[in-house]
């Protein structure tokens, strides 16, 4: 079926080419173990070098990266975390099943990420961490957030799902805070064939723990056994015996368990494609920034339309192209979105509904009015336009013409409706 949209919301946020196909083909035609090996280690090393992180540990998804990173924080019952309401639900999903509180702080209208002053206002005596999302690929005010974290002795976790290629004051996103969590989902700026994730950190102990628990090893404490190393007189296998998965059963007792371990290891084909995609990431981000610049120029003289763009000291990677309709009369944003979607051939998806208003978080204390800036921007101002490296200049120009027409006609329609009503 022919796509009815001139500018569809593309299912692939990166570009795949023969290099990616060759990387997978080479593995499949070899006798390499496909669930782990050289490619994964090489991808992690290359990603660490690319971002400047001390450690990079791959996972099956960013959601899994967030789950494992959350474990590292050592949250206890009754502890609290501060998070942004304007992010995908995966950011705080690991907290939903833990007996901890989540305080959703308000956002900065320019970054659409956590506002440090708002975070400072909601920090309490049991607050232990801040979860910040770099919305759309524009880094949050990390200097401000680091200052709040240091003042209150908090850990800072960066959700970098949107931030592949983003930089803050010369540093890669994900390397300023204590932990960075990355996504290689199909829609992201690079992809490991649909799903994949990474955790970056500086702490050697954390990196060791991550590598163990992603591979079904528990995060636990052991001590040498005081009894003979045998079971019913059966001695441990020798060095020449086949593998028996006995691990440390003969030598140690377990004294404490903090995490039972998960199967979260990235496959070799995914890691191989991650390496080829990483090599192309600068060019793919450059194309996104080129598209964004063309949109900025085309919409620059349209009153009341403010694009989400680079701020001083930042490099926006434009995972999302977001604009705000700041003179929003009631219903204007919704009318613009409807016209783009139904009249101008632009497939529209708005990201993301405020988390504190979802039913599962209302059950945990979320309520309308807790984040007034985020609520106003979401319900009245925010527009996300499609953006991806495969987009043609003709499609970009169509986006410019479509947004201009939709905004002008929507405003005119609302004015006429008001005149009739009065």
Supply the pLDDT for residue 53: 98
- pLDDT > 70? residue 344: yes
Q: Are residues 245 and 176 part of one domain? A: no
Q: Are residues 205 and 77 part of one domain? A: yes
Residues 154-169: pLDDT tens digits? 999 999 999 999 999 9
Supply the CATH number for residue 208's domain: 3.40.640.10
* pTM value surpassing 0.85: yes
Please give the C-alpha separations between residue 250 and each of 218, 221, 227, 404, in angstroms, as whole numbers: 17, 15, 9, 72
Q: How far apart are CA 394 and CA 110, in angstroms?
A: 29
Model confidence at 239, pLDDT cuts 50, 70, 90, reads confident
Q: Are residues 63 and 200 part of one domain? A: yes
Burial of 418 (0-12, 13-18, 19+ CB in 10 A): exposed
Per the domain annotation, does 52 fall within a domain?
yes
Those residues with Cβ within 8 angstroms of residue 98's Cβ, 6 or more apart along the chain or in another chain:
70, 75
Q: Are residues 203 and 228 part of one domain? A: no
- Closest of 164, 152, 171 to residue 82, by C-alpha: 152
DSSP 39-56: HHHHHHHHHHHHHT-SEE
Q: How far apart are CA 182 and CA 196, in angstroms?
A: 8
Determine phi and psi for 253, rounding to 5 degrees: -110, 150
- pLDDT > 60? residue 1: no
Q: Are residues 192 and 43 part of one domain? A: yes
The pair of structure tokens assigned to 68 is: 């494992």
Supply the pLDDT for residue 243: 86
Q: Which structural domain, as residue segments, surrounds residue 238?
A: 224-256
Please give the C-alpha separations between residue 283 and each of 42, 147, 225, 310, 316, in angstroms, as whole numbers: 21, 34, 55, 18, 14
DSSP 110-142: TTSSB-HHHHHHH--TTEEEEEEE-GGG----H
Q: Are residues 243 and 304 part of one domain? A: no
Query: How much is the average pLDDT of 106-117?
Result: 98
Q: Are residues 246 and 303 part of one domain? A: no
Q: Are residues 357 and 313 part of one domain? A: yes
Supply the pLDDT for residue 37: 86
Our count of domains for the chain comes to 3
Per the domain annotation, does 159 fall within a domain?
yes
Burial of 5 (0-12, 13-18, 19+ CB in 10 A): middle
Alpha carbon 12 to chain centroid, angstroms: 16
């Amino acid at each position: 079926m022919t796509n009815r949209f001139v500018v569809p919301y593309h299912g692939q946020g990166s570009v795949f080419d023969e290099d990616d196909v060759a990387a997978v083909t080479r593995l499949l035609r070899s006798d390499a173990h496909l669930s782990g090996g050289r490619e994964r280690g090489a991808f992690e090393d290359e990603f660490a070098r690319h971002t400047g992180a001390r450690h990079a540990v791959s996972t099956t998804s960013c959601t899994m990266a967030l789950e494992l990173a959350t474990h590292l924080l050592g949250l206890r019952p009754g502890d609290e975390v501060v998070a942004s309401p304007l992010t995908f639900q995966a950011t705080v999903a690991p907290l939903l099943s833990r007996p901890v509180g989540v305080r959703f702080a308000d956002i900065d209208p320019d970054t659409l990420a956590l506002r440090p002053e708002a975070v400072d206002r909601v920090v309490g005596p049991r607050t232990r961490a801040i979860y910040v999302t770099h919305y759309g690929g524009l880094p949050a005010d990390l200097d401000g957030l680091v200052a709040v974290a240091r003042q209150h002795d908090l850990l800072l976790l960066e959700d970098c799902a949107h931030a592949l290629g983003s930089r803050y004051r010369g540093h890669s996103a994900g390397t300023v805070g204590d932990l960075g969590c990355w996504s290689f989902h199909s829609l992201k700026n690079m992809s490991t064939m649909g799903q994949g994730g990474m955790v970056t950190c500086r702490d050697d102990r954390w990196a060791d723990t991550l590598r163990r628990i992603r591979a079904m090893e528990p995060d636990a404490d052991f001590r040498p056994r005081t009894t003979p190393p045998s079971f019913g007189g059966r001695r441990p296998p020798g060095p020449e015996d086949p593998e028996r998965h006995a691990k440390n059963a003969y030598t140690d007792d377990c004294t404490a368990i903090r995490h039972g371990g998960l199967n979260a290891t990235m496959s070799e084909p995914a890691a191989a494609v991650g390496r080829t995609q990483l090599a192309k990431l600068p060019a793919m981000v450059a194309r996104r920034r080129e598209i964004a610049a063309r949109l900025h120029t085309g919409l620059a003289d349209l009153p009341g339309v403010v694009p989400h763009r680079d701020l001083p000291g930042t490099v926006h990677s434009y995972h999302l192209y977001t604009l705000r309709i700041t003179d929003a009369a009631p219903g204007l944003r919704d009318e613009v979105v409807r016209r783009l979607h139904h009249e101008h051939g632009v497939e529209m998806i708005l990201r993301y509904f405020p988390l504190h208003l979802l039913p599962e978080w209302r059950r945990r204390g979320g309520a309308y009015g807790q984040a007034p800036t985020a609520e106003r921007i979401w319900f009245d101002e925010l527009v996300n336009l499609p953006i991806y490296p495969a987009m043609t200049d003709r499609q970009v120009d169509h986006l410019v013409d479509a947004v201009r027409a939709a905004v002008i006609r929507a405003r005119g329609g609302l004015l006429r409706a008001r005149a009739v009503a009065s």
